[in-house]
Structure 1
Amino acid sequence: MKWFWYCLKNYCTWDCRGHRREYACFNVTLIAIPALIEWFLPLHLLFKFLPIWIILGLLLLIPVVCSHIRRLHDLNWSGWWVILILLLGQLPLGSILFTLTLSLLPGSKGENHFGRLPY
């Protein structure tokens, strides 16, 4: 949860690098919390709170995109690759596979175009 709150506090920061631990923990938390809620709540209650889910999804869009960009910067890739992630999100398992790949790749050693090593 530490990294989840870190990403939310730095929700609009994309001009630096993000460690893969930060990226993976943030994305796992974003998947796990709604999955647990959906598991335990009956279906009719989920539909009752649909507007809240939509609002939360829109509010979390900027932190998610910024965490992707920071992780891409750690790999010394341009942040514009996040467009590919968003497009792959329209395919079944596309975004999940790309996010998993980004979580497993080690960052570039030393300083790169986007700054020094994170933490």
Structure 2
Amino acid sequence: MNWYLKVLNQYADFNGRARRKEYWMFTLFHLIITYGGLAILGILAYAIDSPFVIFLVYIYLLATIVPSLALNVRRLHDVNKSGWFILIGLIPFVGPIWLFVLSVTEGDRGSNQYGSDPKALNEEEINDIGKPQLEA
């Protein structure tokens, strides 16, 4: 859930790189919320005989379009592709498959033209290895 919230906190940040874990965890929770919301609100809409309740899911989807696009662009940056490669998804049949292949491909090791490696440990993380984590 932290990865999902991290993406939402970076609402329109199209710069930098996003690792596979960040991308897939956001996608997982986004789909759970979308389909879970559709199921629960669909039952509620049927129970109170008001189909307009389902529009809450559409409001959620509209609110998450920008962070989803930003995450996809950052994921493409991780494999050293321009963010404009997201438009490949508009090509019927082949486009979505190619974007899927890029999303499961491991990102470049080390820095590339879009930023530093998101998997690289910084000095603070290295110093914290093995220390007990205090939860607030």
Amino acid of the structure 1 residue aligned with 2:5: W
Q: Distance in 1 between matches of 2:18 and 2:113?
A: 13
Aligned equivalents of 1:99 and 1:52: distance in 2? 29
Give the equivalent residue in structure 1 for 2:77.
73
Checking the alignment, whether the CA contact within 8 Å between 1:20 and 1:102 is kept in structure 2 is: no
Alignment of 1:90-101 (within 5 A): 95=96, 97=97, 100-101=100-101
Structure 1's unaligned 5+ residue stretches are none
Identify the match of residue 54 of structure 1 among 54, 58, 79: 58
Structure 1 residue 47: Cα displacement: 3.1
Contact 1:111 1:117 in 2 (8 A): yes
Which of the pair has more CA radius of gyration?
Answer: 2
Q: Which residue in 2 is equivalent to 1:26? A: 26
Name the residue aligned to 1:8. 8
Tell me the equivalent position of 1:37.
37
- Structure 1 residues 5 and 28 mapped into 2: Cα distance closer, same or farther (>3 Å)? same
Distance 1:105 1:63, change over 3 A: same
- Please tell me whether residue 82 in structure 1 is matched to residue 94 in structure 2: no
Structure 1 stretches of at least 4 aligned residues deviating more than 6 Å after TM superposition: none
Please give the TM-score of this superposition, normalised by the length of structure 1: 0.80
Greater mean deviation of Cα atoms: 69-78 or 25-34? 25-34
Larger relative contact order (CA 8 Å, sep ≥ 6) = 1
Q: Give me the CA root mean square deviation.
A: 2.5
Deviation at 1:117, TM superposition (A): 0.4
Pairwise CA distance, 1:38? 3.2
**Identity of counterpart residues, as a percentage?**
27
Q: Distance in 1 between matches of 2:35 and 2:102?
A: 22
Instruction: Give the letter aligned to residue 5 of structure 1.
Output: L
Q: 1:60: how far off? A: 0.6
Cα distance in 1, alignment partners of residues 36 and 62 from structure 2: 20
Distance 2:61 2:84 in 1: 21
- Which one-letter code corresponds to 1:27 in the other structure? T
